[in-house]
Structure 1
Amino acid sequence: MRYASVTERLSGLGGEKWALHARARAMKAGGEPIIEMTIGEPDIPTPTAFIDAAYRAMQSGRTGYSNGRGEPALVKALAARYSQRRGRLITPDQVICLPGTQTTLYTILRTIAEAGDEVLVGDPMYATYEGIIAQSGARMVPVPLRPEFGFRMQVADVAARITPASRVLFLNTPHNPTGALLRPEDLAALGALAKANDLWIVSDEVYEEMVFPGVTFASPLDLPDLADRVISACSISKSHAAPGFRSGWCIGPVEFCRRLLPLSETMLFGSQPFIADMTALAISEPSPVSDGMVARFSRRAGLIADTLDGVAGLRAHRPEAGMFTLIDVRATGLSGTGFAEGLLAAQKVAVMPGESFGQGLNGWIRLSLTQPDDLTVEAAKRIAAHAAKLLEQAA
Structure 2
Amino acid sequence: MRYASVTDRLAGLGGAKWEIHARARAMKAAGAEIIELTIGEPDVPTPAQLLSAAAGAMTSGRTGYSNGRGEQAVVAALAARYSARRGRQIGTDQVMCLPGTQTTLYAVLRTLVEAGDEVLLGDPMYATYEGLISQTGAKMVPVPLRPELGFRMQAADVAARITPRTRVLFLNSPHNPTGAVLRADDLRALCDVARAHDLWILSDEVYEDLVFPGVSFTSPLDLPDMADRVVVASSISKSHAAPGFRSGWCIGPAEFCQRLLPLSETMLFGSQPFIADMTALAVSEHSPVADGMAERFSRRAGLIAQTLDGVAGLRVHRPEAGMFALVDVRATGLSGAAFATSLLERTHVAVMPGESFGAGLQGWLRLSLTQSDDRTVEAAGRIAAHAATLLGNAA
Does the pair score TM above 0.5?
A: yes
- TM-score normalised per structure 1: 1.00
Q: Give deviations 1:234-288, integer Å, cap 9, x for gaps.
A: 0000000000000000000011000000000000000000000000000101000
What code does the residue aligned with 2:39 have? Answer: I
What code does the residue aligned with 1:108 have? Answer: V
Name the CA distance, whole Å, in 1 between partners of 2:294 and 2:193.
33
Tell me which residue corresponds to 1:376: 376
Tell me which residue corresponds to 2:332: 332
Tell me which residue corresponds to 1:203: 203
1:300 has 2:286 as partner: no
1:112-151 → structure 2 map (5 Å cutoff): 112-151=112-151
Tell me which residue corresponds to 2:108: 108
Name the CA distance, whole Å, in 2 between partners of 1:48 and 1:88.
32
Tell me which residue corresponds to 2:3: 3
1:247-286 → structure 2 map (5 Å cutoff): 247-286=247-286
1:95 has 2:95 as partner: yes
Name the CA distance, whole Å, in 1 between partners of 2:162 and 2:144.
13
Name the CA distance, whole Å, in 2 between partners of 1:318 and 1:62.
44
Tell me which residue corresponds to 1:42: 42
SS of the equivalent of 1:40 reads coil
What code does the residue aligned with 2:312 have? Answer: A
1:378 Cα offset (Å): 0.3
1:119-198 → structure 2 map (5 Å cutoff): 119-198=119-198
Structure 2 stretches lacking a partner, 5+ long:
none
What code does the residue aligned with 2:269 have? Answer: F
Name the CA distance, whole Å, in 1 between partners of 2:378 and 2:173.
30
What code does the residue aligned with 2:305 have? Answer: A
What code does the residue aligned with 1:295 have? Answer: E
What code does the residue aligned with 1:259 have? Answer: R
What code does the residue aligned with 1:382 have? Answer: R
What code does the residue aligned with 2:38 have? Answer: T
1:65-104 → structure 2 map (5 Å cutoff): 65-104=65-104
1:360 has 2:363 as partner: no
1:214 Cα offset (Å): 1.3
1:160 Cα offset (Å): 0.8
1:385 Cα offset (Å): 0.2
What code does the residue aligned with 1:196 have? Answer: A
What code does the residue aligned with 2:322 have? Answer: G
Name the CA distance, whole Å, in 1 between partners of 2:253 and 2:286.
25
Name the CA distance, whole Å, in 2 between partners of 1:82 and 1:383.
42
What code does the residue aligned with 1:7 have? Answer: T
- TM-score normalised per structure 2: 1.00
Tell me which residue corresponds to 1:54: 54
Tell me which residue corresponds to 1:235: 235
Name the CA distance, whole Å, in 1 between partners of 2:327 and 2:170.
25
Aligned residues: 395
Name the CA distance, whole Å, in 1 between partners of 2:47 and 2:88.
31
1:26 Cα offset (Å): 0.2
Moved over 3 A (4+): none
Tell me which residue corresponds to 1:347: 347
SS of the equivalent of 1:26 reads helix
Computed over aligned residues only, the root mean square deviation of the Cα atoms, in angstroms, reads 0.4
Name the CA distance, whole Å, in 2 between partners of 1:300 and 1:5.
43
Tell me which residue corresponds to 1:20: 20
Structure 1 stretches lacking a partner, 5+ long:
none
**Percent of counterpart pairs with the same letter?**
78
Q: Give deviations 1:61-102, integer Å, cap 9, x for gaps.
A: 100000000000100010000000001110000000000000
What code does the residue aligned with 2:11 have? Answer: S
